[in-house]
Amino acid sequence: MIERDVPIAIVGAGLGGLTAALALQHAGFRPIIHEQAAVLGDVGAGISVTPNATKGLESLGLGSVLAASADTPPQQVVRDGISNVQLLVIDRRHVRDRYGAAYYMMHRADLHGMLAAAVTANDAGAIRTGQRLAAIAVDAGGCHLDFAGGSPGTAAILIAADGARSLVRTRIFGDAGARFTGHIARRVLVPAADAPALARIPGSVVWTGAEKSFVRYPVRGGQLINCVGLTRSGGWRGEGWSQSVPAADMAAEFAGWVPDVTDLIAAAPGGMVGSWGLFVRPPATRIVAGAMALIGDAAHPMLPFMGQGAATAIEDGVVLGRCFAESASVSEALARYEAARLARCQLIQAESAAGADRLQRAGPAGQRFDRSEDDLGIFDYDPATVVI
């Protein structure tokens, strides 16, 4: 049995890091999360919590708060961006009966907040902010961490949840680093009061066309309309969520598309939208090295064409906690974690990348819908019960 007081450091307080911390706490451990942001704030926009992720969150006791905070889409629709021809309808009214858990859509900050609240309810000092990992060294004494803006620390076990540009993955696993994929996402939350009436209809709609797509769905009980436009570009000069651009730039990308799309862009608050380049790394061949493990985007950064980036990070955290709870040693726990997660994450990462070319084709007869999450059985997975 692993000693429950073994020092565990988690780098990154995103969805994966927080889920891992909560799962480890449920197993009796006391991990410490080191987060570079000065405060945990109301950041992000809409997010899909698919049944595979819901099962994991419910296993950690978050079922009731999740249901109270999220929207349940009755359907998902795909339309052509120019003609508005309906290409596909997926009925989501009976998801729990089919997969054993609900399909939710919600504000990312609401999910992040409930996870952070659950972690700090168990241990008020579990999250340390203002600690950006600047250097890491490993020796027989453990993992030595230097933080810009924080005191150095040492941990016996390191869980890297530090995103697609993970310093741990670069320094320890020898990866060349994240690369720009050619995809740019522009995102905006439009108050429902300012949105066209059709945009307030529950459920999601994706409009698609040549090398671009646009999705909208309500969150926070229909108070906000989450909108994301995905386009392609030969280069990228910005990083992350911090770049804001005029909504006119987004409007130019979708000029000539249906009013359902262009009217939402025109309603962007302050005439600005968020913009960021999408970066990935090659599929990992290992996610464990010694007493260190990668989770979430550090392990498998994904394009958003299957909506599984957050879901797989949640899966990682739940499975990691179970492996530590059920193993006799740290090495056994991490070996079981890698064996349970690597192939699944490689598959979803590859299918998410291929999803762009299947979806973003010209004309209402060009798209392919034969490799969806339903077709691939992704929603059937339960991180709380899968064999580890």
- Going from the C-alpha of 121 to that of each of 89, 126, 330, the distances in angstroms are 41, 9, 26
Q: How many CB atoms lie within 10 A of CB 166?
A: 27
- The mean pLDDT value for 188-207 works out to 94
Q: Where are the alpha helices (DSSP H) in the chain?
A: 15-26, 51-59, 63-69, 95-99, 108-122, 167-172, 247-253, 259-266, 309-326, 330-359, 373-376
CA 19 – CA 312 distance, rounded (Å):
11
CATH fold of the domain at 180-280:
D-Amino Acid Oxidase; Chain A, domain 2 (3.30.9)
Q: Which two tokens stand for residue 93?
A: 């009214």
Kindly list the domain boundaries of the chain, sorted by start residue: 8-71+101-178+281-380, 180-280
Q: Which two tokens stand for residue 303?
A: 């394009």
CA 40 – CA 226 distance, rounded (Å):
21
Chain mean pLDDT for the chain? 94
Superfamily designation of domain 8-71+101-178+281-380: FAD/NAD(P)-binding domain (3.50.50.60)
Q: What pLDDT does 41 receive?
A: 74
Just list the catalytic residues: 217
pLDDT tens digit string along 210-248? 999 999 999 999 999 999 999 998 777 755 545 889 999
For helices 15-26 and 309-326, the axis angle rounded to 10 degrees is 20
- Going from the C-alpha of 157 to that of each of 120, 126, 131, 236, 331, the distances in angstroms are 20, 15, 18, 35, 10
CB 371 within 8 A of CB 377: no
Q: What pLDDT does 362 receive?
A: 81
Q: Which two tokens stand for residue 88?
A: 């596909």
pLDDT tens digit string along 274-318? 998 898 898 999 999 999 999 999 999 999 999 999 999 999 999
**DSSP 8-state assignment for residue 283:** P
Q: What pLDDT does 239 receive?
A: 52
- The domains spanning 8-71+101-178+281-380 and 180-280 adopt the same CATH topology: no
Q: What pLDDT does 132 receive?
A: 94
pLDDT tens digit string along 7-27? 999 999 999 999 999 999 999
Q: Which two tokens stand for residue 113?
A: 């907040």
- The mean pLDDT value for 138-157 works out to 90
In this structure, what is the dihedral angle of CA atoms 342, 213, 50, 160, given to the nearest 10 degrees? Answer: 40
Q: Which residue has the higher pLDDT, 109 or 42?
A: 109
Among the residue ranges 40-54, 57-71, 326-340, the one predicted with the least confidence is: 40-54
Q: What pLDDT does 36 receive?
A: 93
CA 43 – CA 210 distance, rounded (Å):
30
Q: What pLDDT does 241 receive?
A: 46
> Element (H or E) spanning 231, and its range?
strand 224-232
Among the residue ranges 150-159, 246-255, 343-352, the one predicted with the least confidence is: 150-159
pLDDT tens digit string along 114-133? 999 999 999 999 999 999 99
pLDDT tens digit string along 55-114? 999 999 999 999 999 999 999 999 999 999 999 999 999 999 999 999 999 999 999 999
Q: What pLDDT does 242 receive?
A: 59
Q: Which two tokens stand for residue 226?
A: 């989450």
CB 295 within 8 A of CB 8: no
- The mean pLDDT value for 347-356 works out to 93
